[in-house]
Amino acid sequence: METTITAPKLKGGEWLIKPGNADGIFTPEDFTEEQIMIRDMCLQFLQTEVIPVMERIDKAEPGLMPSLMDKAGEQGLLSISVPEEYGGMGKDFVTSTLVSEALGGGNSFSVAVSAHSGIGTLPILYFGTEAQKQKYIPKLATGEWKGSYGLTEPGSGSDALGAKTTATLSADRKYYLLNGQKCWITNGGFADVYTVFAKIDGDNLPAGQAGFTAFILERGMEGFTQGHEEHKMGIKGSSTVQLYFQDCKVPVENVLGEIGKGHIIAFNILNIGRLKLDAAAVGGSKMALKDSIEYAKTREQFKLPIAKFGAIKYKLAEMAIRIYADESALYRTAKWIDEKEHELLSAGKPFNEALLGAAEEFAIECAILKVHGSEVLDYVVDEGVQIHGGNGFSDEYSISRAYRDSRINRIFEGTNEINRLLSVDMMLKRSMKGQLDLMGPAMAVQKELMSIPEFSDGDDKPFATELKTITNMKKSILMVAGAAVQKLMTTLSKEQEIIMNIADMAIKTFISESMLLRVMKAVEKTGVENNKVQISMLHVFLNDAVDALAKAGKEAINSFAEGDEQKMMLLGLKRFTKTAPFNSKDARRLVAARLIEDGKL
């Protein structure tokens, strides 16, 4: 498939200080025929192979999950991102993102496939030697071998570099002897290949080579055993075990990447994983919404389908609005990464460095998407259970499984708290390094606070009011974050509550702008009449986002400012978050009517 090579118009994080462009945004409406065909193939696979055996999957029937992954491999669903030279389909990043979304409604199966195709395969693909790639990638691409990833330990979760597992070079220098354990290892019970991280004992190594390092392990290696399957709240069909290493002999040629630089592998793979988790969350959310619409249309109370009641219309509409908003930001970012990857390829970078470099460029956005997408999914399945009423609490209905399975996503790929902190930390560090000019715009906002407010309604261009709202949301972030940095300086990192307030403001703003640009592009192409529902969704989401941003901003200001400074900032926040009265009830009812008619988003 040909891809237009254009440099991204914005660098990672620059959306905060520069206006977005509706013409340049990529949206789901821009999918090619091939991408739609691949998506439909994934959805068909779920309907025919996975959903009919979901109860058997949840009971962890021996051999069932590996057999389903074999079938997925036969259809090429495990090799979308793998280059053709290693037996893969070699598709672009947007297509691989779409596959993650399409398979996202498969509950435990989706977890197994995501782990295999992501953290189980990509470390070797991007950091392996040519010999390692030739040995492992073709078999991982077909599913003949299943992949897994061992990073977390009982005493180190978010603090990944605090791992205790050690690796010592053998006397004959042919092996590393690994000692320690890993926990919560997805696919661990049946995988054939594992990427495992350990700290090398440097006694037998040249100075400077000791440290956190990745290794490729294979099932059956001497000294390598696994624990029993964990009993979990959700994703019960996903294999989760502990791994144990007792003088586990790993050939020196199985060191992955550079010695002492395992953190580069761990953290770079996480950027892609966070975005793909959001994609899967979108897919799971759409599945739960579809089931809820169907139930609401057929379940009668007081001699009427419950879909006719305002309270249910509210829930269905709000579920769809949040999914649509998140989906807008997901594919906006996926296309940015795709474009940056091609830019780096054109500059002569090898394919592995190109994609990893592109994902790192937009690491802030990946963290935002992970947080927002997982929380949207949690909201959707929770309201889905409520729509189902007592039946939603029964295992007879799939929404109960969706509810249980969704909870892990706020922990996977770094907890949402960690990702909130990271998103702001990365933004500030880029500013300090001169990669992102936050200081200039922040000072301009401070100067604006001292000026007389502008009371004009602005121009009459389409979406002028909404664009101004987004601009003011950005000003609110710059005002609060700028003042917090100036006031707290080096102690800001210890004020996690304030940082998370700022992160919430940024999340609402990025998602809102992405949604606005998507709707603007749609209206420009097909007109207002054909996009009334989308416009209504935008107005509901934007109205609520401004209120949420104002609350987070107020909490942050009251946490570090006082006196006249506090009063001035609160007045500024009020100015920047002022919106016109809006009838959200009628807007949601319009959205709900379309959902009930179509049966899906």
Query: Percentage helix, strand, coil, to 5, in the chain?
Result: 65, 10, 25
| Rounded CA separation 493/600 (Å) | 43
217, amino acid identity: L
Cβ atoms of residues 284 and 260 within 8 Å: no
Q: Which residues of 428-437 are buried (b: 16+ CB within 10 A; e: fewer)?
A: bebbeeeebe
Phi/psi at 299 (5° precision): -80, 125
Q: Which residues of 376-394 are buried (b: 16+ CB within 10 A; e: fewer)?
A: bbbbbbbbbbebbeeebee
DSSP 154: T
DSSP 167: E
The CA-atom distances, in angstroms, between 292 and each of 71, 289, 320, 571 are 29, 5, 11, 42
263: its two tokens: 């953190």
| Rounded CA separation 369/326 (Å) | 7
Assess whether 365 carries a catalytic annotation. no
Cβ atoms of residues 236 and 58 within 8 Å: yes
Cβ atoms of residues 112 and 408 within 8 Å: no
The CA-atom distances, in angstroms, between 157 and each of 42, 133, 160, 171 are 32, 28, 6, 32
| Rounded CA separation 569/565 (Å) | 6
The CA-atom distances, in angstroms, between 287 and each of 79, 196, 283, 306 are 24, 34, 6, 19
How many other C-beta atoms are found inside a 10 Å radius of the C-beta of residue 10?
18
Pairing status of strand 166-169 against strand 175-186? antiparallel
| Rounded CA separation 474/549 (Å) | 10
29: its two tokens: 């409406």
Cβ atoms of residues 363 and 271 within 8 Å: yes
Cβ atoms of residues 584 and 533 within 8 Å: no
| Rounded CA separation 124/136 (Å) | 8
| Rounded CA separation 266/268 (Å) | 6
The separation between CA 374 and the C-alpha centre of its own chain, rounded to angstroms, equals 7
Phi/psi at 50 (5° precision): -100, -55
Helix spans in 75-129 (H): 93-102, 108-117, 122-127
| Rounded CA separation 569/480 (Å) | 8
- The active-site residue, picked from 413, 454, 466, 562, is 413
Give the residue numbers marked as catalytic: 413
